[in-house]
Chains A and B, each alone.
Chain A
Amino acid sequence: MKNFKYFRPKNLDELLAIKNELKEEARLLAGGSNLLVYIKEGSLKSGTLVDIGSLAALKGIREKDGYLEIGAAETIIDIMASPVVSEKLPFLRESLRVFANPLIRNISTVAGNIAEGSPIADTAPLLLVLNSEVVAASITGRRNIPIDDFFISLGKTEIKANEVIITIRIPIPETGRGKFVKLGLRKGTSCSVVSVAVWLIANGRGVEDIRIALGGVAPLPLRAVKTEALFRGKILNEHNIGELALEVTNEITPITDVRGGAAYRSEVSAALLSKAVRECLGMEE
């Protein structure tokens, strides 16, 4: 027998209080696009569904102190439609265009996307290359978790049982260009097999700085720091982009599952990285 309770907190204090009291038993319900699948499939059988989907304290998209601050209950669609995002970080808007489909984007949130520590969450590589921070709150206070420290192991994040994500903070980059590419099984309604995000600061074709992150190729979404180091300082051309991108296969530990084999994932990773870098340089449209 399924045994659910439901609670819709009216403000942040109520949310933090119930999370503190019930810990893991309080299941935050943002868009519900993951949670409702668990209920339907029966992997989630009980708990108190804490509905934060319309909690005003977790809404709002604003620029503050050089950061883009996105409330945890903001939907993907509202982030894409936000004038602040379009002006300050069009890369984010463009990247989210390949997130699921409009029906899912209309309800899904970024916080809900990363909260489960899934290696294939599409926003994870984006947040990684943008050096973002996740703001967590509990009844004892708030803390900013750098995205590099956020993902701990498969299915596990830095968020404690009495904490909730309240804001995603992204430093607004002054220079550079970004590109996010993903390969899914079907266009539209599917999660990624492999995804790659790149943020490139280049002078002509000379790499001043580069950040590379991947999803679906390790137990965690990850930054490819060794490959980044190899790219840094290079003058890129038709040949060396592909060669450098191939180095990323030494840094990842893909698995074989229903969506693809490990060797396939490796090859795809290098190909997507090469494509993303070329697009950042305007070599491909």
Chain B
Amino acid sequence: MDVICAGKRSITLKINGRERSLEVRPNEILLNMLRERFNLMGSKYGCGIGECGACTVLLNGRAVLSCQILAISVAGQEITTIEGISRGASHSSHAGTAPAGTLHPAGTLHPAGTLHPLQAAFIEEGAVQCGFCTPGMIISAKALLDKNPDPNNEQIKEAIRGNMCRCTGYTNIISAVKSAAKRMLKE
């Protein structure tokens, strides 16, 4: 039988297309790992208990709440955060290497990078106010469009049901998803 892991365990997983290895504690939450260990600050900490959707990431292509998942459970799997969906984004973060307090290039766009159509549409449609829910919204919308490139309003509402926005009132968010879908269908 495999030894029960009491202290840290080293895991390897893919984050935004890059293989990463690190040591995690048994109860380390995926969201905290992404933010604190990889400086991927796009995924937000809203409630920490599954209610708000601000921490949404893709796990093997499915939208999930990273505050509800242990880092150790996703060993060997593939995570995509908001930083990983813009085209040509650099995802240049290094586990554990960022000295505390320094600015880190993680999540910043590569000079040659372009926004994902969802990101562009969110800006154009005024679907972002404070922006706290936006990464999660976009990830949920991406999971939807990957499966269903031409969703109707009901399907969009359903897809973002777990993502709360306290600012925009959802109308612009739904328009943004529709407009991104249109754009992506044309491409």
A: residues with CB less than 8 A from B are 2, 4-10, 14, 17-18, 29, 31-33, 36-37, 39-41, 48-49, 51, 53-54, 77, 100-104, 106-107, 187-189
- Interfacial residues of chain B within 1-32, with CB under 8 A of chain A in the complex: 1-2, 4-6, 9, 25-27, 29
Q: Which of B65-73, B88-96, B116-124 contacts A (4 or more CB under 8 A)?
A: B65-73
Query: Any chain A CB within 8 A of the CB of B36?
Result: no
CB<8 Å pairs between A and B, sample of 18? A4-B27, A6-B5, A9-B2, A17-B1, A18-B1, A36-B50, A36-B69, A36-B70, A37-B50, A37-B68, A40-B29, A40-B49, A51-B70, A103-B53, A103-B163, A106-B63, A187-B161, A188-B162
Complex CA–CA separation, A70 to B59 (angstroms): 22
Chain B residues near A51 (CB, 8 Å)?
70, 72-73
Query: Dominant SS at the A interface?
Result: mixed
**A14 B140 Cβ-Cβ under 8 A:** no
Residues B68 and A189 in contact, CB atoms below 8 Å apart: no
A199 to B127, CA, bound (A): 43
Residues of B within 8 A of A4 (CB): 25-27
A33: chain B residues at CB < 8 Å are 50, 65, 68
Verify B73–A29 contact, CB threshold 8 A. yes
* Contact (Cβ within 8 A) B69 A102: no
- Given known A-B contacts A102-B161, A103-B140, A5 and B49 have beta carbons under 8 A apart: no
- The CA of A189 and the CA of B68, in the complex, are separated in Å by 14
A189 to chain B, nearest CB (A): 6
Measured between beta carbons, the chain A residues less than 8 angstroms from B72 are: 6, 51
Kindly state the separation between the CA atoms of A32 and B71 in the bound complex, as whole angstroms: 12
A32 to B6, CA, bound (A): 19
- Using CB atoms and an 8 Å cutoff, list the residues of chain B in contact with chain A: 1-2, 4-6, 9, 25-27, 29, 48-53, 56, 59, 62-65, 67-70, 72-73, 140, 143, 158-159, 161-164
A2 to B26, CA, bound (A): 10
A31 to B1, CA, bound (A): 23
CB distance from B171 to the nearest CB of A (A): 17
Contact B1–A39 (Cβ < 8 Å)? no
Q: What's the Cα separation between A6 and B143 when bound, in Å?
A: 30
